[in-house]
Structure 1
Amino acid sequence: MTRSVVVTGATSGIGLATALELAATGYDVIGTARSEEKAAKLRQIADRHCVGIRTVLLDVADAESTVRGFTQIAEMTDGGPWAVVNNAGLAQPGAIEDVDDDQAYYQLEVNLIAPARIARLVLPTMRQRRDGRIINISSISGRVSTPFIGWYCASKHGLEALTDALRMEVSQFGVKVVLIEPGSFGTGIWARGVSRLPDRRHSAYAHCYQLAEALLRRSRSLPDPAPVARAVLRALASPNPRARYLVGTDAVAGTLLNAVAP
C-alpha cells in the first residue's frame, strides 16, 4: 500500500523540494497551502515534474483551519496519513528589545505550537496502527543562537525540546519522531523576513538592521534545499531513522563550534 505523507508549507522552499522528492519516490504526497492560488501553483509544478501531489488548504497558525484541514486529510487517507512533515514556518528577525509581543507570539505559534497541534491530530490513528512518522523541520538555529534572530532561535530551540520529548513518549506505540536540522539554504524564508524587520527609526540597533536587511535580501542566492528533501526521504525510508539529521556543512560546523566555544 502506498504510504501517504503530509507536507505542510509545501508551496515553496524546503516544503516544495520535499513534496517533489517524496512524490517522485512513490509516496502519496498531500501538500498544504494557505490559499487556492498557491495550491494550484503547487499542482502545476508537480505536473511539470510528472508527479502527483494532492493539496489541502490549511493555515497552521489557525487552530480551526488546521482541524478542518486534517479532517479532510483523514478522509483522503483512510483515517489519517502515515507521516507528517512539519515544515511550515516563518522567521521573525529583530533585536529582542524591538520585537513586540504580537510578533513573538506569532513566531512561536507557527514554529512551535503548530507542530504540536498537528501531532495531536495525527497521533491517535498512528498509535492505533502502531506505525507512523512525524518529521519536524528545525534548523541549526535550534542548537546555536544568533543575535537579531533570537525569537526564531527560541522557536527552534523549543521545537527541538518538544520533539525529543515526543519521541520518547510515542516510541512505545511504534511511531518514529525525527528532527531535520538544516543549515543555510535558499528557501526564501529570510528574504520574506525583510518585511518583518521592526521599525528602525527609533531603534538602538538601527545600524545593525541595515546590514541585516542586505543579508536577508541576499539569502535567495543560498544553495538549493534539495539536500534537505533527501534527508527527509532518508528519515522516512529508514526502518530505524536517526533522531537528528544535520544537513549542510555550515550546520555541522556550527554545531562543532558551539560545542567547543567558551
Structure 2
Amino acid sequence: MSAGVGQSVVVTGAGRGIGRAITLELAHSGFDVIGTVRSDDDARALRAVVDRSGAAVRTAVLDVADPTSCVRAFTEIAGMTDGGPWAVVNNAGFAQPGAVEDVDDEQVRRQLETNLVAPARIARLVLPTMRARRSGRIVNVSSIAGRVSLPMLGWYCASKRGLESVTDALRMETAPFGVRVCLVEPGSYDTGIWETAAKLLPDERTSAYQEQYAAAEDVLRGSRDLPGPRPVAQAVRRALTARNPQPRYLVGNAARSTAVLDAVAPTAASDWAKQLATGLRQAPPRVSRALARLRGR
C-alpha cells in the first residue's frame, strides 16, 4: 500500500494545540483520522470542532502514559482499521519546567514516560501489522528542544533528545519492512503547552533559582504571542503524503536559525545567549540600553 489520502492515521494528544491542528489538517486532506484524547468529554469536544470545520474524525480514549490504556485503545483502534492503522502521529506530550535539581524523581519519570517511553510503546503495538502489510508511517513530534538544550527546561529537552535518538534507530530498523519513520521538530508555537508548563514550575520559595523562576514564568506565559501551529500540521501532512519522506522536518524559521546558531557558535557564546534569554544572566548595562532602544523603534 503506497502513501496517500484515505488511509487511517492515529493522532495522539489530538484534543488541543498541535494535535488538534494536525487532526484538522489531515481530516481536510482526506485521511481517515482517529484522534486520541484522555476522556469521553474531550472526544466529544474534538468531534464537534472537526464537524464544524466541515470534516470528520473518529476518536479513541487514551492515556499514553498508562500501558494498560495504550493496549486497550490500540486494540479498539485495530478493530476500527482492519487490524491496525496505516500511520501513527505521536504528538501527545508536555513540558516539565524547572532547574534540573528542583525537579523530583516522580516528575522526571512522568516527563520521560509521556514524551519518550510512550511513543516507543505505541510503535511496539502498531509495528507488527505495518510489517505484515509492508507499509506504514510513524511520525514522532519532537521539538527544537530535542537538538538545543535550554536552562530551566533540562528534563523536557532530555525527553525530546531521547525521542530523537529512538526515532533515528527506529527509522533504520523498520525501513527494510516498508515502514517509514519521520521526526518533526517545531520551534515555539501557540499551543497551550507553555502556559501549562508555567503551572508546573517547582516551588521557588525553596529554590536557589528564585529570581530565575520569575523570569522563566514570564517567558512561558508570553507564549500567547506566538504564531499558530498550522505549519507543524502541514509538515506532518508532508511526512505522510511524500513518496520518500524526509527523516526530519525542522519547522519554522526560528527553529532553523536556532539549530544553525547552536551548531556553529562557540559553546560559551551559546550558553551566554541561553542564560540571557531565560533570566539566568543579566546583560551588561550598555547592551541592555541598546536592546531597549531597538525595542523602542
Counterpart of 2:274?
none
CA displacement at 1:259 relative to structure 2: 1.0
Instruction: Give the one of 193, 198, 203 matched to 2:197.
Output: 193
Describe the SS at the equivalent of 1:56: strand
Describe the SS at the equivalent of 1:59: coil
Report the more deviating stretch, 217-226 or 59-68: 217-226
Matched, 1:215 2:219: yes
Describe the SS at the equivalent of 2:58: strand
AA matched with 1:231:
A
User: Paired residues, what number?
Assistant: 262
Counterpart of 1:251?
255
- Bigger radius of gyration: 2
Runs of 4+ in 1 over 2 A off after TM superposition: none
Matched, 1:3 2:24: no
Q: Deviations over 1:82-125 (max 9, x none)?
A: 00000000000000010000000100000000000000000000
Counterpart of 2:40?
36
Unaligned runs of 5+ in 2: 267-297
Counterpart of 1:50?
54
Report the more deviating stretch, 252-261 or 214-223: 214-223
Q: For 1:249 and 1:44, locate their aligned partners in 2 and report how far apart those are by CA, in whole Å.
A: 33
Counterpart of 2:206?
202
Instruction: Give the one of 22, 26, 38 matched to 1:22.
Output: 26
Report the more deviating stretch, 170-179 or 220-229: 220-229
Q: Deviations over 1:20-49 (max 9, x none)?
A: 000000000000000111111100101110
AA matched with 1:221:
D
Q: Give the percent of matched residue pairs that are identical in Structure 1 and Structure 2.
A: 64
Aligned pairs for 1:56-205 (under 5 A) are: 56-205=60-209
CA displacement at 1:221 relative to structure 2: 2.3
Unaligned runs of 5+ in 1: none
Q: TM-score, normalised by structure 1?
A: 0.99
Q: For 1:221 and 1:188, locate their aligned partners in 2 and report how far apart those are by CA, in whole Å.
A: 11
Q: TM-score, normalised by structure 2?
A: 0.87
Q: For 2:190 and 2:141, locate their aligned partners in 1 and report how far apart those are by CA, in whole Å.
A: 15
Q: For 1:94 and 1:49, locate their aligned partners in 2 and report how far apart those are by CA, in whole Å.
A: 38
Q: RMSD between aligned alpha carbons? A: 0.7
Q: For 1:203 and 1:229, locate their aligned partners in 2 and report how far apart those are by CA, in whole Å.
A: 38
Report the more deviating stretch, 52-61 or 209-218: 209-218
Q: For 2:220 and 2:132, locate their aligned partners in 1 and report how far apart those are by CA, in whole Å.
A: 44
